[in-house]
Amino acid sequence: MASACLVIANVCLTRAPVGSGESLFGFPDFLTGLALLALVFTQSDPLYRFRIAVAPIPLGGLTLAAIILVGGASLLNDLWFALGWYSLPWAVPKVAIQAILGGFLFLAVLLWLMFAFARPPRFGRFNARKFTEAVYRGLALGGEGVSPAIALEIRRSSAAIVAACKAAEPPPPGQAPKEIPEETKYAFDLLRLIANRRFCRQLIASSPGTAMALMDEAARQEVYFAPLGGFAQNITIEAIKNHDSGLYHEDRYGISGLLGQMQPFTRAMYGCYDLVENSSTAMASAIDLHYRDTDGLTAREWEAYGRAITTTTADYLKVQRFHHSSRAINRAIEHIVNSTGTLYRIDGITEWRQWREESDKLDSAMSVIDEIVGQIDESPNRPTRRHVLTGHRKYHQRDLTDELCDALLEILTHAAAVKEPTDTAWAIHHNIFWSGLNEFTHRSETWKIIRARFTRLIIHELKNVRRYGDFKSIRIIGLLLNVLGVHENPKGERNSEFAFLRRYVIRLVKTTYMKIVTEQPHVAEACLLGGITFDAPNKRLVKTYMRGLQVEPAREYLDLDEWALPTPVAKAPGKLPPASKGGARPTSVRPIRHKSRTRRSKEN
């Protein structure tokens, strides 16, 4: 019997017999596909497993349902046609059923491919919880390749994570706070999760772009209150300790090439002052260091940290907010000052290789202050006040220049801990500290303001020496004498900018040193730093310079004023009161009256 024929373009098309051909998708084919799918999932990269886990739809449940449905229906379909059971009334052929079942499984595979490769999910409203939980599992349980996968996905979702934090912005004064959505809460938790120290170490080593993306997005969207302080702090300390990080390859004065001029990592992490200041919580910001991490830092690492600070201060001084005190910058300057606190270790060391590390720390600290002074001089709102502010009531009037002067005074105190040998003390006192102080931005207008405030600050520190001597003040005097000399009428223009300070210190020493020698000899000995010695028989101080090519070294002398212990003056005896009948004279001691008892008796 001839089959029906459909003629199109002189071509005859006939229907294929029902049940002809090979099976499209039987149960054996299903088992093969299921095995391959399981193999691919178990052996896949952690990145793709993370993407599947954070999909906004329940991809795992849908896949399991598809496997159960397709597997059971495929087995039932093969069994139905093999046993010749009654077919359905509408006579659906076997291959059609197999095609439908294969389509379901193919759709499940397409969903996996879409979320794993084509359109990976990002952090959002529908998967905020799943995203945060996946990051938590990865950081808590760990595993090979998990941290790089988390870093990559956080970088892809950085804009969405930062945008979700906007809903937590504090309302204007007078308005009631809004309810924070769940997405924002998970975004905050996520930013706190990635502040993990181990994760930050791996970020610096393999994926610094994640930290850059988060900080860039926060600055671009002006979300300054996001909890990025702890994360940025740990990123900073790990970048300092890793000498292959961006901080060491973006030095403008080195051989870093174009990256040294563009500074992508440094500018992203520290280039936005508002973000650094406002994101700091619990004394944690991008330029804050934990005190436990500062002990073992080398001079090179302090230099890298100084570049981070000056990047922040540059943005801080661009806008006219010079008189606005910055807590983060003040703490960073304090860290720089504390880096010189180990100078006492080189006291008595002659070999320069043994004290070079400590001297380099001092040089790095002076370079940071010099850089900030240059930035202040280029800012639109330079300081004009020359006097110093003392007392807590005037604290709100302090500016960045006052903080720098306080830092210089503390560094001066640390440098004064080096007493001998003479060459070492001269190198620390004069060649590094005092020469660095005199070379600040080639003596600009800001330097003149700092010089005036610094001079007055030293005088304020030494004002109590006339009454009693303390080690800090006496060591400061010793360093100044070692640097400025002890001659009352010096010749030449050396240190002419500090001529007033020199005259004040020499006059103070001339009139009070013998008093301190008499009353506090152990304190007076602390003044003898470097080339300063005390000639007791002649009652004078001697400043001995390096001999050089001369036969005898040059010396200066400062004659000290005499000091004698004050003799107690005996008081003339007054007229005694008449004796009592018993023969004893009444004493002048008044009986002690207890106020509580007197008050009680009056009440009664």
Over range 399-421, report the average pLDDT: 94
The whole-number pLDDT of residue 444 equals 81
What band does 510 get if pLDDT is binned at 50, 70 and 90? Answer: very high
More confident residue, 9 or 276: 276
* Cα–Cα distance measured from residue 510 to residue 304, given in angstroms and rounded to the nearest whole number: 44
Q: Where are the beta strands (DSSP E) in 429-566?
A: 532-535, 540-544, 555-559
pLDDT tens for residues 186-220?
999 999 999 999 999 999 999 999 999 999 999 99
Quick check: 577 pLDDT over 60?
no
Query: SS3 string of 9-71?
Result: CCEEECCCCCCCCCCCCCHHHHHHHHHHHHHHHHCCCHHHHHHHHCCCCCHHHHHHHHHHHHH
CB 223 within 8 A of CB 165: yes
Sheet with 555-559, edge to edge strand ranges: 532-535, 540-544, 555-559
- Which of 11-15, 400-404, 415-419 has the lowest average pLDDT? 11-15
The 10s digit of each residue's pLDDT in 162-184 is 999 998 887 777 788 888 999 99
Q: Look at residue 98 in the predicted model and tell me its pLDDT.
A: 78
Instruction: Indicate if the pLDDT at residue 393 is higher than 80.
Output: no
pLDDT at 519: 92
306-334 average pLDDT score: 88
Contact 115, 59 (CB under 8 A): yes
Confidence of residue 409 (pLDDT cuts 50, 70, 90): very high
530 or 599: which leads in pLDDT: 530
pLDDT in tens, 421-438: 999 999 999 999 999 888
Residue 93 in tokens:
């052929």
For residues 351 and 422, the answer to whether their CB atoms sit within 8 Å is no
Higher pLDDT, 390 or 541: 541
Residue 88 has pLDDT above 70, yes or no: no
Q: Which pLDDT band holds residue 573 (cuts at 50, 70, 90)?
A: low
Percentage of the chain lying above the pLDDT 70 cut: 81
Q: Is the pTM of this model over 0.95?
A: no
Q: What pLDDT does 200 receive? A: 97
**286 touches 276 (CB < 8 A):** yes
Residue 226 contacts by C-beta under 8 Å, 6 or more apart in sequence?
A: 162, 165, 188, 191, 218, 279
| Per-residue model confidence (pLDDT) at position 15 | 45
Burial class (CB in 10 A: 0-12, 13-18, 19+), 392: exposed
If you average pLDDT over residues 587-599, what whole number do you get? 45
Q: When comparing pLDDT for 145 and 506, which is higher? A: 506
Q: Where are the domains of the chain?
A: 22-118, 125-169+179-292, 294-457, 462-565
Q: How many helices (H) and strands (E) does the chain have?
A: 26, 5
